[in-house]
């Protein structure tokens, strides 16, 4: 496969959130603001790349029957690294992402790429795939967070330019579902 | 009374799907039919309850005494993964039709964040063993209620004229948003 093609697929053509519908729990749960979404996106990108590297290196040593538990252990190790690093260096982001940091381990996107891609491809291809999917995920979360922040609070990335309260419903839980629903609709429209 | 409060809070006020956003994948994935939703709820209830008990024991008798709290994520997910394998083997023997119906989603309970999420929340809230069990059962009821109501809604979508770009997943999310709005009405009762 063409590597450039491999790199660009995650952004639009196979965007994990809008097209593949993977990793929806953090996509809905943490995107109350754009910066939370982007932070979560980068944490997931790191885990994706590292687990893709390790899994593509050890794929020939893992018996087929126990491959899923082995993948999960690899992913969980990197999630723990992210968790401890973030708690030490970015405590405020860590607090606002809360439970969703350890829950990266059960993000279907990470396990899905490990199973469907990294366990079948060589190192370089797997790294590029992880980077592509991770950045696509970050883009989707940033976009969703941006939309929710804009409508809910009248600001983007904490910079407030519409005075007043905004539609609080977009910050609350129903707004996450509504915003994601309409964004997927837009991406369907653009795809045609 | 204390247990009733835990149940009401977990089922309605902080519904695990609609207000905590855990377990969205099966919520969107298997909710096309009421029947499969009921089966999925059964499987999740079973796994979630046992997982919460086992992870409670791990947390309080292994992680805490040895002061290795950072192993929480790894040890919890391993327990859940092996539990799911067990349920899968059992279901294959006991009820082949249900096994057929749940198909791909059974192994996916492993990556159902609701199970790991409930186990971690029970630790975070510092519940004792009985409270943890009640909490897990209440959460699976909440998961089931959301899933089954939503499946009932989705069965009617076939009869509606939906704009082409909204068909399928987008309209489901909008409906889920409305359902979440309805559940917001429970806020403040517990």
Q: Å from A105 to nearest chain B CA?
A: 8
Q: B104 pLDDT band (50/70/90 cuts)?
A: low
Which residue of chain B has the CA closest to A172? B19
Nearest by CB: B176 against A76, A77, A177 = A177
| Chain centre distance of CA B66 | 30
Locate all alpha helices (DSSP H) within A21-66, ordered by sequence.
24-29, 34-58
- The answer to whether the Cα torsion of A104, A73, A111, B23 is positive or negative is negative
Looking at the domain assignment, is residue B120 inside a domain? yes
- Lowest mean per-residue pLDDT among A107-111, A173-177, B95-99: B95-99
Q: Is residue B54 part of a domain?
A: yes
Contact A167, A152 (CB under 8 A): yes
Nearest by CB: A173 against B19, B107, B170? B19
- Report yes or no on B92 lying in a domain: yes
Give the pLDDT of residue A51: 92
Instruction: Assess B169–A contact: CB distance below 8 Å, yes or no.
Output: yes
pLDDT score of B103: 56
Specify the pLDDT at position B111.
Answer: 65
Q: What is the mean pLDDT of residues A55-83?
A: 87
Q: How far is A128 from chain B (nearest CA, A)?
A: 24
- Considering only CA atoms, which of B89, B22, B62, B153 is closest in space to residue A100? B22
Instruction: List Cα–Cα distances, A97 to A151, A152, B79, in angstroms.
Output: 21, 18, 24
State chain A's mean pLDDT as an integer. Answer: 86
Q: Check pLDDT > 70 for residue B105.
A: no
| Residue A41: predicted pLDDT | 92
Q: Please report whether residue B189 resides in a domain.
A: no
Cβ–Cβ gap B107/A176 under 8 Å: no
ipTM value of the model? 0.82
CB B55 within 8 A of CB B123: yes
Contacts of B77 in chain A (CB under 8 A): 72, 76, 105-106
Chain segment A32-50, per-residue pLDDT in tens: 888 888 999 999 999 999 9
Touching B: A residues 42-61, CB under 8 Å: none
* Confidence band of B138 (pLDDT split at 50, 70, 90): very high
- DSSP H or E stretch at residue A160: strand A159-160
The rounded distance, in Å, linking the Cα atoms of A177 and A147 is: 12
Q: State pTM to two decimals.
A: 0.86
Q: Which member of B21, B169, B178 has the closest CB to residue A28?
A: B21
Test A174 with B178 for CB contact under 8 angstroms. yes
Cβ contact A5:A125 at 8 Å: no
Residue B156: Cβ-neighbour burial (10 angstroms; 0-12, 13-18, 19+):
exposed
Q: Is the pLDDT of residue B141 over 80?
A: yes
Among A144-153, B29-38, B181-190, the range with the most confident prediction by mean pLDDT is A144-153
Please report, for chain A, the start and end positions of each structural domain, with discontinuous segments joined by +: 3-191
Chain A contact present for B110, CB below 8 A: yes
Tokens read off for B174? 């909008």
Query: Residue B123 contacts by C-beta under 8 Å, 6 or more apart in sequence?
Result: B55, B56, B59, B72
Q: How far apart are CA A113 and CA A128, in angstroms?
A: 12
Look at chain B and report how many structural domains it folds into.
1
Is residue B190 in a domain? Answer: no
Contact predicate B59/B128, CB 8 Å: no
β-pair partners for A159 = A156
In a domain, B139, yes or no: yes
Mean pLDDT of A156-160: 76
Domain that holds residue B153: 2-184
From A177, which residue of chain B is nearest by alpha-carbon distance?
B177
């Amino acid at each position: 496969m063409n590597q450039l093609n491999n790199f660009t697929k995650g952004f639009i053509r196979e965007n994990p959130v809008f097209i593949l519908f993977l990793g929806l729990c953090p996509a809905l749960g943490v995107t109350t603001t754009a910066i939370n979404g982007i932070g979560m996106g980068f944490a997931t990108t790191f885990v994706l790349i590292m687990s893709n590297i390790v899994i593509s290196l050890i794929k020939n040593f893992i018996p087929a029957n126990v491959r899923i538990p082995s993948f999960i252990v690899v992913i969980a190790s990197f999630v723990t690294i992210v968790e401890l690093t973030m708690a030490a260096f970015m405590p405020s982001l860590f607090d606002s992402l809360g439970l969703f940091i350890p829950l990266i381990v059960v993000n279907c996107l990470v396990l899905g790429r490990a199973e469907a891609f990294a366990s079948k491809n060589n190192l370089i291809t797997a790294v590029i795939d992880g980077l592509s999917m991770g950045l696509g995920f970050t883009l989707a979360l940033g976009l969703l967070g941006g939309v929710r922040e804009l409508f809910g609070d009248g600001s983007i990335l904490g910079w407030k330019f519409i005075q007043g309260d905004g539609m609080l419903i977009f910050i609350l839980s129903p707004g996450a579902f509504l915003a994601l629903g309409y964004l997927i609709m837009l991406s369907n429209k653009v795809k045609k | 009374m204390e247990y009733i409060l835990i149940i009401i809070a977990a089922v309605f006020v902080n519904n695990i799907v609609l207000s905590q956003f855990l377990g969205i994948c099966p919520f969107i994935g298997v909710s096309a039919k009421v029947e499969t939703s009921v089966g999925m709820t059964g499987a999740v209830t079973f796994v979630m309850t046992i997982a919460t008990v086992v992870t409670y024991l791990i947390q309080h008798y292994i992680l805490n005494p040895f002061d290795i709290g950072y192993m929480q994520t790894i040890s919890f997910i391993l327990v859940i993964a092996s539990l799911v394998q067990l349920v899968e083997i059992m279901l294959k023997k006991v009820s082949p039709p249900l096994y057929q119906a749940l198909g791909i989603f059974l192994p996916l309970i492993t990556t159902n964040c609701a199970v790991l999420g409930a186990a971690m929340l029970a630790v975070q809230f510092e519940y004792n063993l009985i409270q943890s069990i009640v909490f897990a059962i209440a959460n699976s009821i909440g998961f089931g209620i959301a899933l089954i109501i939503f499946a009932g809604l989705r069965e009617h979508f076939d009869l509606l004229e939906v704009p082409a770009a909204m068909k399928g997943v987008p309209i489901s999310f909008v409906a889920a948003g409305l359902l979440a709005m309805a559940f917001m009405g429970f806020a403040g009762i517990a």
